[in-house]
Amino acid sequence: MVKDGEILVFADFNLYSKDAVFKCLYWFGDKFHTGVSFIDSNTYCISLRPLSIANVNSDDLELYLQKLERDLIDYQLRDTIARETQNIRDLLVAKAFSNGEFDEDPPGDVSDPVGFNPNLASV
Amino acid sequence: MLLKTRGISLNIRDHLVGKVTRDPLKIDADSFLICESGLPPMTVNNFLGVLTSSDDSGQFQDLPTVFGVPTFEHLAEGDIVVVSNDGIINTFYRVDSFHNTILATERCNSNCLMCSQPPRDKNDIPRLYDIYQRAIPLIPKDCFELGVSGGEPTLMGELFFSLLETLKENLPETEIHVLTNGRSFAWNAMAERLAEINFDRLMLGIPLYADYYQIHDYIVQAKNAFNQTMLGLHNLARYNQRVEIRVVLHKQSIPRLVKLSKYIFKNLPFAEHVTFMGLEYIGYTPHNIDKLWIDPHDYIEELGESVEFLAGQGMNVSIYNTQLCVLPERLWQYSRKSISDWKNSYLPECERCSKLDDCGGLFTWNLKKHSNHIKAFI
Amino acid sequence: MIESTVDRKTRKFRELNFYDQQEENQYFLLPFRFHRLNDAKEVLVNEVGDHLVASAGTVQLLVSKQLSKIEYPELYGDLIANFFISEEQIPPLIDLYATRYRTKKSFLDGFTSLHIFVISLRCEHTCHYCQVSRVTQDKGTFDMSLEHIDKGIDLMMRSPSQFLTMEFQGGEALLAFDNIVYAVTRAKELAPAFGKEINYVICTNLALINEEMLGFCKENSILISSSLDGPSYVHNQNRHRPEKNSYEMTVKGIELSREILGKDRVSALMTTSNLSLEYPVEIVEEYYNQGFRSIFLRPISPYGFAVKNERKNKYETEKFLSFYKKAFARILEYNFSGEFFSEDYATIILRKILTPFPVGYVDLNSPTGAITNVIVFNYDGSVYASDESRMLAEMKDYTFKLGHLDTHSYEEIFYGEQAQKIVQVGTNESLPGCSDCAFQSYCGADPIHNYATQGDMIGYRPTSSFCHKNMEIIRYLIELMDSDKNIEQIFQSWVKQRT
């Protein structure tokens, strides 16, 4: 909501991680005083108050509210992606800076009905 | 064009490999003497054997012979043949052709919907390998290019590498073009072994039909084929082996063709050549034609975009098996006369075409399945 | 003898769904970042810079694991093929992906390749935005000594890179031409022993160029990089000469250089002042009319004389972006009418977007190009991490001075504490704001710019002009390509590298 020239958003702690909230608020710091606190054990109160030097139009506050809500969702998505893909990312970079020592085995088998097997071939 | 004929054999165990000559004075232990009309006037004991149209088998007690052969008109002086004890005379090498290919094996670990040489699950490798070890030293040293195909040649295992070594040793001036699905090279040791041969006149032609694994695997009818082929290509690149990517154009490969071309540029920029090939109406293709057929005229947009994208990034691109009248003029520069002479034909319509000499024509068996838009240039 | 395990069933043809390897409709996310392009579209970018433009809401659907292969077969195929998702925890082609990542970062292999020698600080122009803090002509003490040239060349030969670039800057480099001759001659002598191949470049305003100098350049395949700010009314206003004829001298110099060296050995760079911002189209057309087929649209840096003349030079990034887009539109017009004309900054970014190859442009790298790509030997023997670092020193800020040719070794300069500190914060993968940015692979880090404009090397993205400019240019380029296939094809022609 927009109240007294300030933007306030209440977000459920179980839906939005701390990382997501802070990363999102980072980008508003050029125009707003950003604040985060807990209303109760489950709810953040996120506030944006325009900086006096920033020339934020009071008509635009609704638009910034919309942007904040949208960005919170986006940063939560990024948080999910980062958590789920952390291991693969580390593995990828480790392999990139290796010389093939960590290469995986090929998937499946060579599926020759007559039984050629490159693993057993005397190469 | 005939590549095989048959008569009745005598004194032949398994098979014999040799050149052919019609000159009874050119005595050579590596050559068969062809006697088209009756028996020769002088002794022939120092030839490898005799091939004759005569029905009379009486004269040659010990000499390997095939008699009662209906015709020799397809055989030129110096051609190399394989003569089996069942009387079959297979032409292995034709001196007048630019399109000679060694069939490494009929075994294959894929089963492509459009396979032009359907596989047979019989282990023919020991026999064929033995034939080639004998035949390759007979190939003229000025042979420009020789293909190695199948089935899947790498299923020969160590014999595959021996075969290549034999080729390298015997044909120092010849370009060797191996057709393989590349899957075996996903096992790095295979790629490493290939690199040990140090064969810079070798190029591997490897097909890729989609950027998305499920479609490629479906087309080649083998699970994990896409992933194995891609890993194989990368292992080959690790050892700087020369590769060519081949894409057959049909209803299953056209929808993602442009995406495939971008995939090739991004993931396989080291490919020496990329070729887009028209469908051959033989082998499994007629059986699967409903899944495969699309008139080339109808995929020109996708083909053009793919070719021009890759060429625009400096890759070497060709279009095979597609007629000039079906292609827009801006793509003519990529079109090659790629069809082997022995299976190359033209339609009656083509006789009056002004571009007949520049155009690659059709596969003989495509005379009954071709674009509806073939029209002579006047 | 191999047993024949013939099974007639294996040769039966199967349908497409037989080859589906997905289990229980599940898929795993692979690392990627995303950004809203506009209200209707978002762009996803993977770890090697492949991008995918999709309709808004796609990422949400994707991350909540509700993207069905049946409902979105085309998109699903795109996501698998381009390493956005995988049907297995470890994607089967991960080693291939790793090779692509390694390729993208392989600009690091050669380490420092660009070696800038500030051969003289003397200059006879008085460009109001001059970043170089020029000193007028008669002060002989502002030339690089022969001894320092020798030491600089010795350090240059220590670079692991086989291919080196030796670039002479000033002041006005031609004022010390004899020293350039000395430097090139010595470097050429030493190169074979070190296995180096060296490209030489002279940055000059061309006012003093003559046939004799060009003869030497031709003999040694030296490239000329001149300055052309636009048509005469822009150029002369920016670049002040007592005779008010900088433009005329430049054009004459370019003509003469082309005649002797060949057209492709002469390039021009522009700098954008407040005045320039009013003439985007005219500047592009001037370049075209002078026979150039590319232009580098770059904003002024906040260093040297530029900062001192704040009134003339201070402008917001928005104004630059507006200028950039108008100039860019004119450039596209040339391309639509069949002519090749590219913009260099866009081309660098587009190479990262459209090709798998490494791009090592100093100002747009992660890790930063300072030290890892470029080093500067000043006229007085001091060594700096980059061109901008030296300019800060001219304003008495020595934060990025790495040492001195008389007192520091190669190891102390290139691998010392100062160097390590700079490069450590010069990696955008771990900078606040950058670590989640969709354009990370296309952008870079510039700790020196951050320090100069914001007070610390890490920088603050929301007010960073570097970030603002790059994010908008990258977003703009992606949006253009997505909106018009012809533009995508034009961009493809710009990034082509092989012949």
Shortest distance between the Cα of B11 and any Cα of chain C, in A, equals 27
Q: Does A58 touch chain B (CB under 8 A)?
A: no
* CA-angle at B220, arms to B215 and B221, nearest 5°: 90
Query: How far is B356 from C246, CA to CA, in rounded Å?
Result: 62
Instruction: Provide the residue type at C199 as one letter.
Output: N
Instruction: Give me the pLDDT at residue B45, please.
Output: 79
Q: How many CA atoms lie within 13 A of A5 on its CB side?
A: 10
Judgement on whether residues C193 and C259 belong to the same structural domain of the protein: yes
Judgement on whether residues C44 and C129 belong to the same structural domain of the protein: no
Shortest distance between the Cα of A119 and any Cα of chain B, in A, equals 7
Say if residues B45 and B59 touch (Cβ distance below 8 Å): no
Shortest distance between the Cα of C14 and any Cα of chain B, in A, equals 7
Using CA atoms, how far residue C400 sits from B105, B151, C403, C419, C427, in Å, is 67, 64, 9, 8, 17
Judgement on whether residues C44 and C78 belong to the same structural domain of the protein: yes
C-chain CB neighbours of A93 within 8 Å are 98, 101
Judgement on whether residues C197 and C339 belong to the same structural domain of the protein: yes
Indicate the pLDDT class of residue C4, thresholds 50, 70 and 90: very low
Measured from the Cβ of residue C377, the count of other Cβ atoms closer than 10 Å reads: 26
Judgement on whether residues C242 and C278 belong to the same structural domain of the protein: yes
Q: Nearest chain B residue to C94 by CA: give it.
A: B231
Instruction: Give me the pLDDT at residue B232, please.
Output: 97
A33 is in which domain, residue-wise?
Answer: 2-96
Can you tell me which residue has the tokens 């007070």?
C455
Instruction: Give me the pLDDT at residue C314, please.
Output: 40
Using CA atoms, how far residue C436 sits from A20, C439, C464, in Å, is 11, 9, 16
Do the Cβ atoms of A26 and C433 come within 8 Å? yes
Say if residues B20 and B81 touch (Cβ distance below 8 Å): yes
Query: Is B74's pLDDT higher than 90?
Result: yes
Query: How do residues B320-377 score in pLDDT, each as one tens digit?
Result: 999 999 999 999 999 999 998 889 999 998 999 999 999 999 999 999 999 999 999 9
Judgement on whether residues C73 and C169 belong to the same structural domain of the protein: no
Indicate the pLDDT class of residue B38, thresholds 50, 70 and 90: low
Sign of the alpha-carbon torsion through C481, C486, C488, C490: negative
Query: How far is C281 from B93, CA to CA, in rounded Å?
Result: 67
Nearest CB to A30 within list C2, C29, C463: C463
| Start-to-end CA span in chain B (Å) | 29
The distance of Cα A83 from the centroid of its chain, to the nearest Å, equals 8
User: What is the number of structural domains in chain A?
Assistant: 1
How many DSSP H helices and E strands does chain A contain?
2, 4
Beta strands in chain B (DSSP E): 4-6, 8-10, 15-21, 31-35, 49-52, 65-67, 80-84, 88-93, 100-105, 145-150, 175-179, 202-207, 242-248, 273-277, 317-320, 344-345, 362-363
3-class SS of residue C382: strand
By DSSP bridging, strand B8-10 and strand B4-6 are: unpaired
* CA-angle at C404, arms to C401 and C410, nearest 5°: 95
Looking at 3.40.50.11720, 3.40.50.2300, 3.20.20.70, 3.40.50.970, the CATH number of the domain B100-368 comes to 3.20.20.70
Instruction: Give me the pLDDT at residue C299, please.
Output: 75
C258 is in which domain, residue-wise?
Answer: 111-426
Query: Is C498's pLDDT higher than 70?
Result: no
Percent of residues, chain B, with pLDDT higher than 70: 97
Query: How much is the average pLDDT of B178-197?
Result: 96
Chain B residues within 8 Å of chain C (Cβ atoms)? 111, 113, 119, 121-123, 211-215, 217-218, 221, 223-224, 227, 230-231, 234, 256, 259, 263, 265-267, 269, 288, 309, 312-315
Query: How far is C439 from C475, CA to CA, in rounded Å?
Result: 8
Q: Which residue would you say has higher pLDDT here, B259 or A116?
A: B259
Do the Cβ atoms of A110 and B189 come within 8 Å? no
B-chain CB neighbours of C77 within 8 Å are 211-212, 214-215, 256, 259
Q: Nearest chain C residue to A95 by CA: give it.
A: C98
Do the Cβ atoms of A93 and C101 come within 8 Å? yes
Query: How far is C204 from C217, CA to CA, in rounded Å?
Result: 13
Judgement on whether residues C234 and C350 belong to the same structural domain of the protein: yes
Query: How much is the average pLDDT of B138-167?
Result: 96
Say if residues C325 and C476 touch (Cβ distance below 8 Å): yes
| In-domain check, residue C75 | yes
Do the Cβ atoms of C11 and B111 come within 8 Å? yes
Strand partners, B93: B80
**Best of A111, A117, A122 to mutate (most B CBs within 10 Å, chain B):** A111
Instruction: Give me the pLDDT at residue A1, please.
Output: 86
Say if residues C202 and C213 touch (Cβ distance below 8 Å): no
The whole-model pTM stands at: 0.93
Structure token pair of residue C382? 């001091």
Q: Which of C58, C77, C104 is the last residue of a domain?
A: C104
Percent of residues, chain C, with pLDDT higher than 90: 75
| In-domain check, residue C432 | no
* CA-angle at C52, arms to C47 and C54, nearest 5°: 135
Indicate the pLDDT class of residue C1, thresholds 50, 70 and 90: very low
3-class SS of residue C5: coil
Say if residues C369 and C111 touch (Cβ distance below 8 Å): no
Domain containing residue A54: CATH number: 3.30.70.60
**Best of B114, B115, B185, B214 to mutate (most C CBs within 10 Å, chain C):** B214
| In-domain check, residue A107 | no
Query: How far is C210 from C230, CA to CA, in rounded Å?
Result: 23
Please state whether the peptide bond connecting residue B64 to the residue before it is cis, i.e. omega within 30 degrees of 0. no
Say if residues B266 and B260 touch (Cβ distance below 8 Å): no
Query: Is C132's pLDDT higher than 70?
Result: no
Do the Cβ atoms of A106 and B227 come within 8 Å? yes
| In-domain check, residue C294 | yes
Can you tell me which residue has the tokens 């013939």?
C6
Q: Which residue would you say has higher pLDDT here, C23 or B55?
A: C23
Residue C339, class by beta-carbon neighbours within 10 Å (0-12 exposed, 13-18 middle, 19+ buried)?
exposed
- The DSSP call for residue B351 is G
Query: Is C141's pLDDT higher than 60?
Result: yes
Instruction: Give me the pLDDT at residue B227, please.
Output: 97
Shortest distance between the Cα of B179 and any Cα of chain A, in A, equals 17
Give the lowest-confidence range in B213-222, C1-10, C114-123. C1-10
| In-domain check, residue A121 | no
Query: How far is B301 from B294, CA to CA, in rounded Å?
Result: 13
Q: Residue ranges of the domains in chain B? A: 4-93, 100-368
Instruction: Give me the pLDDT at residue C402, please.
Output: 96
| In-domain check, residue A66 | yes
Domain containing residue C364: CATH number: 3.20.20.70
Query: How do residues C220-246 score in pLDDT, each as one tens digit?
Result: 999 999 999 999 999 998 887 777 788
Query: How much is the average pLDDT of B138-150?
Result: 96
Instruction: Give me the pLDDT at residue B55, please.
Output: 83
Query: How do residues B204-221 score in pLDDT, each as one tens digit?
Result: 999 999 999 999 999 999
3-class SS of residue C443: coil
Q: Which residue would you say has higher pLDDT here, A76 or C273?
A: A76
Query: How do residues B300-326 score in pLDDT, each as one tens digit?
Result: 999 999 999 999 999 999 999 999 999
Give the lowest-confidence range in A97-101, B175-179, B238-242, C214-218. A97-101
Question: Which CATH class for the B4-93 domain?
Answer: alpha beta
Instruction: Give me the pLDDT at residue C135, please.
Output: 58
Q: Nearest chain A residue to C64 by CA: give it.
A: A77
Q: Does B227 touch chain A (CB under 8 A)?
A: yes
Q: Which of C78, C104, C130 is the last residue of a domain?
A: C104
Query: How much is the average pLDDT of B166-195?
Result: 96
Using CA atoms, how far residue C427 sits from B359, B376, C293, C364, C432, in Å, is 55, 62, 33, 11, 11
Query: How do residues C440-465 score in pLDDT, each as one tens digit?
Result: 999 999 999 888 888 889 999 988 88
C-chain CB neighbours of B229 within 8 Å are none
By DSSP bridging, strand C114-118 and strand C163-169 are: parallel
Strand partners, C198: C164
Query: How do residues C281-329 score in pLDDT, each as one tens digit?
Result: 999 999 999 999 999 998 766 554 344 443 344 456 888 999 999 999 9
> What is the residue-averaged pLDDT of chain C?
90
Q: How many CA atoms lie within 13 A of B185 on its CB side?
A: 29
User: What is the number of structural domains in chain C?
Assistant: 2
Structure token pair of residue C462? 């929301």
Instruction: Give me the pLDDT at residue C315, please.
Output: 54
Judgement on whether residues C115 and C100 belong to the same structural domain of the protein: no
Query: How far is A105 from B224, CA to CA, in rounded Å?
Result: 13
Shortest distance between the Cα of B374 and any Cα of chain C, in A, equals 30
Instruction: Give me the pLDDT at residue C301, please.
Output: 60
Query: Is A9's pLDDT higher than 80?
Result: yes
Q: Does A40 touch chain B (CB under 8 A)?
A: no
Nearest CB to B313 within list C11, C20, C496: C496
